[in-house]
Chain A
């Protein structure tokens, strides 16, 4: 797939991001490879990273910042040559949790996005098969959201010795 591509180092990625997505992507302070990315340029940024040799999508996860009313999605992208790790952070509103799917870029995104959907209810636009993965069909609610309240079934809950 990417045979003769030279892997872009951290500085090159930073320079390229600054040139292409001027104010849409900014480097987070005190880091050399963590970026805050606006949701609309996530897909082109991912495509650029793949073309620059970052073939390894290590992780997708989300953090629920309830007080600020937003989800922060965290993407970890690596490469198989020098072990560098680029972190992309995307903030989306809690009311309309939707972001572009990266399945077309990395196939690994398929299950990782399904997991985030399952746990947070974040919709990934363009995902080929967005359904629950860990919880069973028919489970209601998004367990890892901070405002998730669990109603124990008759099989659950602590018991006490009287």
Chain B
């Protein structure tokens, strides 16, 4: 369906001033939005949709998994934000919540699960074990953080984090999806 507007798309050489009374003039996007017309790119639309309905992978490793379940239960109720659709199969999920300690024995499985998820996909490292290995970092069998294995988007600190913290982590991920232009502050980690 064609949009019935009198909008001429900006030509090279700058955008002329728009006049709402003269429909033949060019309008900026903001002015269009004031008149109830939304212009967007498909990519942006998809990001907006995904950001509001992320499907996490149901995949618990340790203590944090219990708090992850609590988050979906009636008291904290993650479905208020649209994130309650936990999928058991990685093929249907787009967020992987690494909830717990990754051990050397479990590492290949975590990697496999990540690769089985379809693009685009994101990872939340929940709890200090998934961030850096936590209290178990100097153990012979523990991987020092999920980011040694898979790329991590959001880190949620705590041991285990409270359910509110996980919800905040999901909202941070949403912000990242909706505003990709915002630059992250990254510190070099050796």
Contact = CB atoms under 8 A, between A and B. Distances in A.
Interface of A: 135-136, 143, 148, 150, 153-162
Contacts of B132: 159
Contact of A159 (B107, B140, B142, B144): B144
A153 B143 CA distance: 9
A155 B144 contact: yes
Contact of A136 (B104, B149, B190): B104
Given A160-B190, A161-B187, A162-B188, A155 B104 contact: yes
A155 B148 contact: yes
Contact of A161 (B104, B144, B189): B189
Nearest to B106: A136
B189 A135 contact: no
A135 B141 contact: yes
B138 interface: yes
Contacts, number: 38
Given A155-B107, A158-B138, A160-B190, 17 more contacts: A135-B105, A135-B141, A136-B105, A143-B140, A150-B140, A156-B133, A156-B142, A156-B143, A156-B144, A158-B133, A158-B137, A159-B132, A159-B144, A159-B145, A159-B189, A161-B187, A161-B189
B105 to A, nearest CB: 5
A157 B189 CA distance: 13
A73 to B, nearest CB: 22
Q: Which of B138, B140, B188 has the most CB of A within 10 A?
A: B140
A148 B132 CA distance: 24
Interface residues of B, number: 19
Contacts of B141: 135, 143
The 7 A-B residue pairs whose C-beta atoms are closest, nearest first, are A150-B140, A155-B143, A155-B148, A136-B105, A143-B140, A156-B144, A158-B137
Contacts of B187: 161
B190 A159 contact: yes
Interface in B126-159: 132-133, 137-138, 140-145, 148-149
A116 B32 CA distance: 73
Contacts of A156: 104, 133, 142-144
Nearest to B107: A155
A148 B107 CA distance: 22
A151 to B, nearest CB: 9
A117 to B, nearest CB: 16
A126 B3 CA distance: 82
A150 B188 CA distance: 27
B112 to A, nearest CB: 15
A56 B190 CA distance: 51
B79 to A, nearest CB: 35
